[in-house]
């Protein structure tokens, strides 16, 4: 990781912003521990859901006395059960992430830590999974202590994946037993990545894709005759970096990103492109909150 890589440690100001936010998945999930999430099943909880006629065995405390007085019929309030949300942070730790100024991997770790804070503060359980050649994951973590553990784990990560990102994603999906929210933080530098999303969503996960690209990747300021060496595959492409070449690159990148976004949306997920080094407060406060990811 380059020296200028952002640290997964969040500063106090960012934490204050993040603590006010809650993850807002599109669908509801049932958790193991009562938390602040609405469970898929109706039940006794704090969140009102509907009315139904009273039947034997119902808790008398849930009869709506005002309705009974007006209609003469006992009506029972039903409530959405509230449970924790399993959040899996899939952090791309392939070699391609160790690139850019500010470093993409550092930004990815910071984003993962931030999602961890938001999830933990919301009472959700968080698990970190590194998509790399060496399997590395945390258990589901909760609360403030969980965020500290997550941060430490993120800090220990080093980009080392030489294999394709799609492969790692498939492998990770096999071990994601609890359906929940899967947040993939990656640069997306794998042409077959979009096809791998199905492996995650087929198990009932909602997939959020956060693509992190460096300013250079978005607008490469290079010129001359170059041998472009792939960081993961060591494949070489000889180019003359001039206007037409850069235009073609930008077109290819836009098409590739669009394919990832379309695949994410197709599987009921979300997609966001984040430039590495963008302040967290701006990313969460504007991009994610505006798109309804958090609220």
Partner 1 sequence: MSFQAPFALLWFLPVGGFILALYLLRLRRRDFRVPASFLWPERQDEVRANSLFQRLKFNWLWVLQLLALAFLVLGLARWQVRQENVSGLTTVLIVDASASMGARDVAPDRFGVAVKRAESLVAAMKPGDRMAVIESGASPRVATGLSQDQAKLRQGLGSLRRSDAPSDVGEALRLAMALVGRDGESRIILLSDGCFDPVGSVSRGKSQIIFEPFGTSSENLGIQALGTAETPQGLQAYVGVKNYGRAQASTSITVYADGKAVSSHRADIAPGQTIGKTVSLPPGTERVSAKLGQGGALACDDQRTVPGNPTGSVKVLLVSKGNLFLETGLNLDARVVLDKATQVPASELASSPGQGAYDLVVFDSEPEIAVKAPMTVSFGKGGGASPAEVGGKLPTPQVLSVRDDGLMDGVSFDGVYLASVYAAKPRAGAQALAEAASGPIAVFRATPKIQAYFAFDLLDGDFPLSVSFPILLGNILDKAAGSERQGLTAIATGQVVGLPGKDGESVDVKDPTGEVSQTTALNGRFTFRNLDRVGEYAVGSGTAAKRYLANMVAERESDIAPVKEFAIAGGEPVKSKPAEQFADLWKPLVALMMGVLALEWFVFMRRS
State phi, psi for 7 to the nearest 5 degrees.
-80, 145
Cα torsion angle, 144, 149, 155, 157, sign: negative
**Contact flag: residue 189 with partner 1 (CB under 8 A):** yes
CB-count exposure of residue 209 (10 Å: 0-12, 13-18, 19+): buried
In this structure, are residues 228 and 239 in contact, taking their beta carbons and an 8 Å threshold?
A: yes
Beta pairing class for 270-275 and 206-213:
parallel
List of long-range contacts for 225-231, beta carbons under 8 Å, 24+ apart = 231/95, 231/96, 231/98, 231/99
**Contact flag: residue 225 with partner 1 (CB under 8 A):** yes
Question: Alpha-carbon distance 145 to 21, whole Å?
Answer: 18
The interface with partner 1 within residues 90-109 (CB under 8 A) comprises 96-97, 99-100, 104
Of 229, 258, 292, 295, the residue at the interface with partner 1 (CB under 8 A) is 229
Among the listed ranges 60-68, 113-121, 198-206, 230-238, the one in contact with partner 1 (CB under 8 A) is: 230-238
Q: Which is nearer to partner 1, 103 or 201 (CB)?
A: 103
Of 226, 272, 273, 281, the residue at the interface with partner 1 (CB under 8 A) is 226
Q: Which is nearer to partner 1, 105 or 293 (CB)?
A: 105
Of 83, 190, 206, 275, the residue at the interface with partner 1 (CB under 8 A) is 190
**Contact flag: residue 3 with partner 1 (CB under 8 A):** no
**Contact flag: residue 158 with partner 1 (CB under 8 A):** no
Minimum CB distance to partner 1, residue 245 (Å): 4
The interface with partner 1 within residues 193-222 (CB under 8 A) comprises 217, 222
Of 143, 230, 282, 291, the residue at the interface with partner 1 (CB under 8 A) is 230
Residues β-bridged to residue 48: 79
**Contact flag: residue 2 with partner 1 (CB under 8 A):** no
Question: Alpha-carbon distance 214 to 188, whole Å?
Answer: 12
**Contact flag: residue 4 with partner 1 (CB under 8 A):** no
Radius of gyration of the chain (CA): 22
**DSSP state letter for 23:** B
- Binding region for partner 1 (CB under 8 A): 96-97, 99-100, 104, 187, 189-191, 217, 222-233, 235-240, 242-245, 248-249, 252-253, 256
């Amino acid at each position: 990781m380059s020296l200028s890589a952002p640290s997964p440690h969040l500063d106090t100001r960012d934490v204050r912003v993040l603590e006010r936010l809650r993850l807002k998945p599109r669908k509801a999930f049932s958790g193991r521990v009562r938390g602040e999430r609405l469970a898929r099943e109706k039940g006794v909880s704090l969140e009102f859901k509907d009315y139904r006629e009273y039947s034997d065995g119902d808790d008398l405390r849930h009869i709506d006395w005002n309705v009974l007085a007006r209609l003469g019929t006992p009506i029972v309030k039903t409530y959405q059960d509230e449970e924790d949300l399993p959040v899996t942070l899939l952090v791309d730790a392939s070699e391609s992430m160790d690139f850019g100024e500010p470093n993409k991997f550092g930004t990815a770790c910071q984003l993962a830590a931030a999602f961890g804070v938001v999830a933990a503060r919301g009472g959700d359980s968080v698990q970190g999974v590194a998509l790399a050649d060496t399997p590395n994951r945390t258990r589901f973590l909760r609360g403030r202590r969980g965020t500290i553990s997550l941060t430490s784990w993120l800090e220990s990560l080093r980009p080392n994946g030489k294999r394709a990102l799609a492969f790692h994603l498939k492998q990770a999906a096999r071990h994601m037993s609890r359906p929940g929210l899967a947040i993939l933080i990656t640069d997306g530098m794998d042409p077959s990545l979009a096809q791998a999303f199905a492996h995650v969503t087929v198990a009932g996960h909602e997939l959020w894709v956060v693509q992190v690209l460096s300013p250079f990747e978005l607008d490469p300021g290079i010129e001359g005759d170059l041998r472009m060496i792939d960081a993961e595959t060591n494949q070489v492409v000889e180019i003359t970096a001039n206007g037409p070449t850069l235009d073609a690159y930008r077109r290819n990148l836009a098409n590739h990103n669009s394919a990832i976004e379309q695949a994410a949306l197709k599987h009921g997920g979300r997609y966001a492109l984040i430039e590495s080094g963008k302040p967290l407060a701006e990313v969460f406060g504007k991009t994610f909150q505006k798109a309804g990811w958090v609220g």
